[in-house]
Structure 1
Amino acid sequence: MRHVAVIGSGPAGYYTAEACQKVFGEGVRVDIIDRLPVPFGLIRTGVAPDHQSIKGVSRRYAAVALTDTVRFVGNVTIGQDVSIDELRTLYDAVVLATGAPHDRALDVPGATLPGVVGSAAFVGWYNGHPDYAELAPPLDGPGAVVIGNGNVAIDVARILAKSEAEFGASDIVGHALTALQDAHIDTITILGRRGPHQIAMTPKELGELGELERAVPIVDPGDLPRTEFDAALDPGQRKSVTHLRNFAVAQGSDKPIRIVFDFFAMPVAIEGDGKVERVVVERTALDSDGNASGTGERYELPASLVVSCIGYRTPPIEGVPYDDRSGRFANEDGRVLPGLYAVGWARRGPTGTIGTNRPDGFAIAEKIAADLGEGSDKQGRAGLDALLAGRGVDVVTFRDWQKIEAAEIAAARTGAPREKFTSVEAMLAAKNP
C-alpha cells in the first residue's frame, strides 16, 4: 500500500488525488488535509459567487472524495496540529497543494491605509472565507479603484456593480450582499499600467460587464490601437479587445454606475487623512517590448476603496524550501525534497485556469510512482489519526462536510444555492447538530 498526503483541498489537491487513484489503483490511500473544515478551496472561496457553473466542478471532486482510497481530513492546520516533517515520516509522499492564497504586496506609499485591500481579502469577504468575514470594506463611495487588468479585477468590479436581483442565484454571503446593496459607489475605475492589447481579461468576463442592469463600462476610444493591429492577437484576446471596442462606442447610458477602464495608468501613491481618500495616478507609455514606464503626467482619482488585484503568493511553510522572488515553493518540476512535492499554484505560481491543475496533478502522481519504487513501511492515515487524536484535534471528514453543506443549503435565501457559514465555529457546530 502507498500512502500519500495532499495538503490543500482545492482543485490542485483533488486532481492530484484523482491522479493517484488512476496511477496506483486500489493500492493507494490519499489523505487530503485542509486547515478549514470545508473542502474545495478556490472553488468555494475564490471563484465568483455568480459563476455557479464553474463551481459545479466540485461535484467531480466529491466523487473522488467518496471513494475508499481518498478521504478528506479537515480542520487540521499544518505547523500547528502536525508538521511537514511528521507527515513525511508517516507518508510515502507529501504533496503541497496549498495554492497561492495571499496577496502580492502593493508597493506604493499609502498602501497600508484603511480602505486598501488585496483581492484575496476582498474576494474572500464576499465569498464567506472565515479569515475575511469581518473585513467590512468601506463602500460609502463615491469612488472605488481596482488595480489590475486581469479577470480578478473584472470580478471585483462586477461584484461592486451588481444589483441585488442579479445576485439571486449566486452564493454570495448575506453580510456582503447587504453591504453591497447599501453602498454609495457610483464610479469604479479599473487601472492598468499597459493598454488594451496587454490585458489578461477573457472574453466571457468582459462580456458580462456589458450586460449589467445598473452599470455601464466606459472605454476611451483614444486608448484603443488601430483596428488592423488586432490581427496579431490570438483569437481569445481579439474577442476581448472587441468587447472593449464595443464599450468605447456605446458610451451613452443613464445607468447610475460607471465602470471606467483607465489604461496606460499606474498608481504611484494612495493618500488620505487616516483612510483612503484618493489615488495618485501617473500616465504611462509602452516601449518597443511592451514594458510600461511613467511619463510624469499625474492626476488624482477620488476613492474610499482601493482593491489591489496584482497577483498572489503561496505562504511559506517552516522547513520547506521557498522561492521568495516567485512567491511559491522552490521545486524542480514539482519535486521539493525527497518525498515532498508541490502541485498547482504552489508549484508554478498563480498561472493557468482551474483545468490546468488536472494535467499538473497527473504529472506529480507519475513522479511519485517513479520515485517510490516497490514496497512501503509507512503508517499513513493510521499514524495520522493516532497523532491527531493524541493532540485533541477535532477532525472533519467528508461525511461531516456533507452535514455542514446540508445546513448551508437549508439556510439559503430564496433562489440561492446555499448560505455559507463564515466562521469555523459555526461550521463545526453544524456537523454535530
Structure 2
Amino acid sequence: MTRTKLRLAIVGAGPAGIYAADILLKAERNFDVSIDLFDHLPAPYGLVRYGVAPDHPRIKGIITALRDVLDRGDIRIFGNVRFGEDLSLDDLKRHYNAVIFATGAVRDASLTIPGVELEGSYGAADFVSWFDGHPDVPRTWPLEAESVAVIGNGNVALDTARMLAKHVEDLMVTELPANVAAGLAASPVTDVHVFGRRGPTSVKFTPLELRELGELRDVDMIVYDEDFDYDDAARAAVTGNKQVFVIDKVLQQWRQRPVGEASRRLHLHFFAKPLEIVDDGSGRVGGIRYERTAPDGEGGVVGTGEIRELPIQAVYRAVGYFGSPLPGIPFDKKFGVIPNHEGQVLTRDKTTGEARQMYGVYATGWIKRGPVGLIGHTKSDAMETIKHVINDLGNWWTPESPSEESVVELLESRGIAYTDLDGWHRLDQHELSLGEAEGRVRIKVVPRDDMVAISRDEV
C-alpha cells in the first residue's frame, strides 16, 4: 500500500512560516511530508530581519533558532518569488496538496486624524523598513526635522523614537547599512516627543524596551509630573502586575534624574490624545494638536477638553501594523487578516453569504490573528493551524503534478531568479565578511538585485 504524502507550500519565510514547517515535520502523522517555503524577499526571517531595530541583538537571537530549522535540510526555500505575480493559487493547486499563508503584517495601520497626508508625516513601519535595509524601500529617508513626534505607545513607537534620538556612532557596532548610517549622521534632530493617549500604567511596550531608552548616551529622558497623579485603577495595576510595576519603577527613576546637559531629549507624553497634525501653511507638518485625557476610573481614559499644541516638523505614526490582501484569498479589510477558524481559511458563499471552509488553504501568524503577540504566540498559533492541516487529509487538493522537480521547472520556465538555502548561506557569509572588515558583526546588503546576484553566485 502506497503511503500518503503531503506536498505543502508555505507562503512567507518569517518565524510564522518556519515554525509551522518545523511543527508539521515533528508532528505525529501517518503520512510523509515535503515542504516548500516561498518568500517575496531574497532572504528569509521576515520581520525578525526587517522589523526589529539593529541594536536589538537579544531579539535577533531568534534567528539562530530559525536558522537551525532551515539548516536541517528537510525544508526547501524559494526566495525572491512573489505570490500573485510569479506564482498563483492555481499554480499551487497544480503542485501541492495545501498551502499555508504566513505573510505577516507589514503595512502601517491607518490613523484617522486630519493632517496625516502632510509632507513630513510618515508611517513608522516604513521607517523601520528603511533603517533595517529592506530592499523594497527607497535608499534615502528625509531626516530634516529638529523636533519630531512619534504617535503610539508600543514597542515600534519606542524603536522609532530610539533610532531617531540615538547618536549614530553608538549604532556602528550593529548591522546598520551604510546608507542608513549616512542618513542618521546628517539628522539635525534635538527633540523626540512620544505621545500616548493613556497613562504610564497602560502602555503597550515592554520593560526591556523602556530600559534601553534610558541607556542612550547624551540623551535626556523627559517625563512630566502631571502624568503621575495615579488613580486607584493605576495604583492597582502597579501593585498587581509585575510588568507594570517594573515600567512604573523605571519611569519614577527618570523623574528624579537631572536633565539639561544632553544635546538631545526624548520626551514621553502620557494622557495625550493626538487630534490633528497641523499644517505649517505650505503643506508640511508644522505641529501636533492633542487633547489632554484623564483616567475614567476603569482603566480607560476620557477627554478633558484641554487642547494643547506642540510645534514639530515631522510625525511618525506607530499605531500598529496591518495585513495586506493576497490575490484570490479572502481578506478582512477591517482587521487586516485572512478570515479563518483556527487557521482554516474561510470564504463566503456568494448565494447564502454563509462562511465555509476554503479547502486546502490555511493561515498562521499575524495574517491569521492580527499583529499582536510575541514568538511564543506564533508557535502556539502554528500548532493550532498544523493540527487542522493534518486532520483535513480528506479535503486536501489533488495536484496534477506533485513532484518536487516540477516546481523548480515551473519557476525556471518563467525566468524567475529564485534564491534557495545555499544562496542564503552565500548572502549570509557575504554580509558577515562585510561586517568583519569594519569590526562589526554584519553589514546588510540592501539592493534586491545585489542580494539575488550574491545568492545565485552570479556576481
- How does the TM-score come out when normalised to structure 2? 0.89
Is the counterpart of residue 80 in structure 1 residue 85 in structure 2? yes
Q: Which moved more, 1:273-282 or 1:197-206?
A: 273-282
Q: Equivalent residue for 1:158?
A: 162
Offset of residue 340 of structure 1:
0.7
Q: Equivalent residue for 2:426?
A: 403
Aligned-partner Cα distance in 2 for 1:277–1:406 = 45
Residues 221/7 of structure 1: CA separation in 2 closer, same or farther (3 Å cut): same
Offset of residue 376 of structure 1:
8.1
Residues 23/143 of structure 1: CA separation in 2 closer, same or farther (3 Å cut): same
Query: Matched residue of 1:341: which SS?
Result: strand
Residues 274/63 of structure 1: CA separation in 2 closer, same or farther (3 Å cut): same
Q: Which moved more, 1:319-328 or 1:284-293?
A: 284-293
Q: Which moved more, 1:111-120 or 1:382-391?
A: 382-391
Q: 1:268 aligns with which of 268, 272, 275?
A: 275
Aligned-partner Cα distance in 2 for 1:415–1:145 = 34
Q: Equivalent residue for 1:383?
A: 406
Aligned-partner Cα distance in 2 for 1:210–1:278 = 26
Query: Matched residue of 2:37: which SS?
Result: strand
The AA in structure 1 aligned to 2:416 is V
The AA in structure 2 aligned to 1:13 is G
Offset of residue 230 of structure 1:
4.5
Query: Matched residue of 1:132: which SS?
Result: coil
Q: Equivalent residue for 2:362?
A: 341
The AA in structure 1 aligned to 2:419 is V
Q: Which runs of 5+ in 1 are unaligned?
A: none
Paired residues of 2:151 and 2:318 also in contact (CA < 8 A): yes
Deviations 1:79-116 (A, max 9, x none): 10111232134212211100000111121111112211
Offset of residue 292 of structure 1:
3.5
Q: Equivalent residue for 2:198?
A: 194
Is the counterpart of residue 420 in structure 1 residue 451 in structure 2? no
Q: 1:214 aligns with which of 204, 218, 224?
A: 218
Residues 320/184 of structure 1: CA separation in 2 closer, same or farther (3 Å cut): same
Q: Which runs of 5+ in 2 are unaligned?
A: 346-357
Aligned-partner Cα distance in 2 for 1:176–1:168 = 11
Offset of residue 232 of structure 1:
4.4
Residues 9/212 of structure 1: CA separation in 2 closer, same or farther (3 Å cut): same
Q: How many residues align?
A: 432
Is the counterpart of residue 122 in structure 1 residue 89 in structure 2? no
Offset of residue 416 of structure 1:
2.1
Query: Matched residue of 2:90: which SS?
Result: helix
The AA in structure 2 aligned to 1:196 is P
Paired residues of 2:359 and 2:397 also in contact (CA < 8 A): no
Offset of residue 24 of structure 1:
5.9
Deviations 1:208-261 (A, max 9, x none): 111111112111122114484444441112111211111122142411111111
Paired residues of 1:122 and 1:132 also in contact (CA < 8 A): no
Paired residues of 1:46 and 1:123 also in contact (CA < 8 A): yes
Aligned-partner Cα distance in 1 for 2:28–2:177 = 40
Offset of residue 142 of structure 1:
1.5
Q: Equivalent residue for 2:341?
A: 332
Q: Which moved more, 1:228-237 or 1:10-19?
A: 228-237
Residues 27/69 of structure 1: CA separation in 2 closer, same or farther (3 Å cut): farther
Aligned-partner Cα distance in 2 for 1:251–1:324 = 47
RMSD of aligned C-alpha atoms? 2.0
Aligned-partner Cα distance in 2 for 1:120–1:42 = 10
- How does the TM-score come out when normalised to structure 1? 0.94
Paired residues of 1:408 and 1:418 also in contact (CA < 8 A): yes
Q: Equivalent residue for 1:49?
A: 54
